[in-house]
Amino acid sequence: MPTFSFLTTAYQTEDYLRDTIESVVAQTNPDWELVVVDNGMSEPIAAIVGSYAEDARIRLVRQENRGYDGGVMAAAAHATGEYFVVLDSDDQVLPTFCEVIGRVLTGEPGIDAVGCDAVRFDDSGAELPVGYYRSTNVKRRPDPARRLTLTDLLGGLVPYYTAAIRREAWQAVGGYDRGSAELHESVVIWIRMVGSYDIRILPQRLARFRLRGDSMTRDPQKVDAFVAELERSFSWADPTDPREQAALDHTLRTFRYWTELRRAQRALLARDDAAALRAARAAFGQRRTLRAAAIILALSAFPEGLRRIHPMKQRVQTRITHAAGRVVSFVKG
């Protein structure tokens, strides 16, 4: 039985899958297996995995497309490892992932799950200076000596999705079975686990999270739908402790702030000053930030002058994409 089972579902990621596999093959700790689910019966994906046939640790499972969570669950059903590690077919792990996390698990056998930070990189391979947690507005450095609490989780400290989860814990909470299409599996699994299992987060960046140019951040409707899914997922926790409720309220306000700010920025591009002003005021009502206040002031004082600034459209579009990226990278969806 290997220590780590990487669970990878692949659908329309032929351009990225080989790099994902190579990142696992490069592990300094060789005690792993990789289960790749061809989640859509793609001959190119099957051929990529087949090219590693000499490595018995890499196995292929083929099925018709059953959605992202269905692909992960299929990989889990074929996994034999002690710890399950979800790894998307366009992302990667750094060579020391298994070594560092394995050392933690060996040192404290009572720990049930270990997460880490991640490097963000674009399609050119260039790494962004801000890591995953900072990009999701987590300002406190994760402390691996502290057990994750529901207050932490509801306050936004959601473990990066590529984490090592003990098989028994995964199975006990249902893994990536959301139970409802209205919820997001990468949030719900941690809410189910946090009360009964010891979860730790390492500050080291041991994974690589790809920001794809063709991602949902380019589609406003998909981003808004995704944020609504996140809101439902966090609210599903239904906390009773006042501190937990306060943490949840703060996170929900943050989601709504970014939603309204994106609406204001899109309205600016559409030259709809009234809609932009309404959305900016709604954003300011959720979080009293200088950014929202600046949009309100600019629209109230000199909207025509604002539109005449030539680079404005490009800057606003860039801000929309960055704002959407912050929300989408909150969990890996």
What gap in Å lies between CA 207 and CA 87, rounded to an integer? 9
Positive/negative CA dihedral, 84, 90, 96, 100: negative
Closest CA to 328 of 228, 202, 241, 217: 217
Query: Is the confidence at residue 331, as pLDDT, over 60?
Result: no
Closest CA to 6 of 103, 91, 75: 75
Helix (H) or strand (E) holding 17: helix 17-25
When pLDDT is cut at 50, 70 and 90, the band that residue 132 belongs to is very high
Query: Is the confidence at residue 316, as pLDDT, over 90?
Result: no
Q: Which domains does the chain possess?
A: 4-214 (3.90.550.10), 217-328 (no CATH)
Tell me whether residue 212 is exposed, middle or buried, using C-beta atoms within 10 angstroms of its C-beta: 0 to 12, 13 to 18, 19 or more: middle
Mean pLDDT of all residues in 132-146: 91
Structure pTM? Answer: 0.88
Q: Which pLDDT belongs to residue 113?
A: 99
pLDDT tens digit sequence for 271-288: 888 898 999 999 999 999
Q: Which pLDDT belongs to residue 305?
A: 53
Q: Which pLDDT belongs to residue 51?
A: 98
Q: Which two tokens stand for residue 277?
A: 């002003």
Q: Would you say 177 and 134 are in contact if contact means Cβ atoms under 8 Å apart?
A: no
Mean pLDDT of all residues in 180-189: 91
Query: Is the confidence at residue 203, as pLDDT, over 70?
Result: yes
Q: Which pLDDT belongs to residue 306?
A: 55
With a CB cutoff of 8 Å and minimum separation 6, the contacts of 133 are 117, 142, 157, 160
Q: Which pLDDT belongs to residue 319?
A: 47
- pLDDT > 70 fraction of the chain, expressed in percent and rounded: 89
What gap in Å lies between CA 209 and CA 226, rounded to an integer? 18
Question: What number of CA atoms fall less than 13 Å from residue 17's CA on the CB side?
Answer: 27
Mean pLDDT (the chain, rounded): 90
Q: Which pLDDT belongs to residue 269?
A: 86
pLDDT tens digit sequence for 61-74: 999 999 999 999 99
Helix (H) or strand (E) holding 266: helix 242-269
Distance of alpha carbon 57 from its chain centroid, rounded? 26
Task: Report the amino acid identity of residue 296.
Answer: I
Mean pLDDT of all residues in 23-29: 99
What gap in Å lies between CA 52 and CA 55, rounded to an integer? 6
When pLDDT is cut at 50, 70 and 90, the band that residue 45 belongs to is very high
- pLDDT > 90 fraction of the chain, expressed in percent and rounded: 72
Q: Would you say 333 and 226 are in contact if contact means Cβ atoms under 8 Å apart?
A: yes
pLDDT tens digit sequence for 102-118: 999 999 999 999 999 99
Q: Which pLDDT belongs to residue 330?
A: 53
What gap in Å lies between CA 185 and CA 189, rounded to an integer? 6
Q: Give the 3-state secondary structure of residue 273.
A: helix
Query: Is the confidence at residue 214, as pLDDT, over 80?
Result: no
Query: Is the confidence at residue 292, as pLDDT, over 80?
Result: yes
Q: Say which range, 34-48, 222-236, 237-251, 310-324, has the weakest mean pLDDT.
A: 310-324
Q: 97-128 burial, b if ≥16 CB within 10 A, otherwise e?
A: bbebbbeebeeeeebbbbbbbbbbbeeeeeee
With a CB cutoff of 8 Å and minimum separation 6, the contacts of 310 are none
Q: Would you say 168 and 154 are in contact if contact means Cβ atoms under 8 Å apart?
A: no
